[in-house]
Amino acid sequence: MKSALVPCVPNPTKTEPNNYIRNIFMERKDNMPLWVFLALMNIETRIGALILFWGSFAFTLFTIPLSWYLNDWWWLGMMIPITLWYWLSLQWVDKHSTWG
């Protein structure tokens, strides 16, 4: 009987050891800046990038009253640049590249 905790990760074949790694990560184009690649390296579609952006935007809005209540602005100060980074990366790929 198989355990439910066994991960469902395919094993790469011996002839193509990088096959699984190639399917996980976004391929970096020659003209793609490193900051765009790092922001979207595990995102395969534009819908996934939009979900990432809107999720971080919603969390940023959530941290505004939380920061006010806790009197600790560290989370808000971190989430604003991260959300902006995702948005700028999304715009760069839309303008200069295509989604895989």
Q: What is the pLDDT of residue 25?
A: 57
Distance CA 12, CA 2 (A): 21
Q: Which of 30, 61, 36 is nearest to 49 (CA)?
A: 36
The per-residue pLDDT for range 18-69, each reduced to its tens digit, is: 544 444 556 777 888 999 999 998 888 899 999 999 999 999 999 999 999 9
Q: What is the 3-state secondary structure (H, E, C) of 7-36?
A: CCCCCCCCCCCCHHHHHHCCCCCCCCCHHH
**pLDDT for 98:** 76
Domain ranges of the chain: 19-96
pLDDT in tens, 77-100: 999 999 999 999 999 999 988 776
Please indicate whether residue 86 or residue 14 has the higher confidence score (pLDDT).
86
Where does 41-99 have alpha helices with state H? 46-70, 74-96
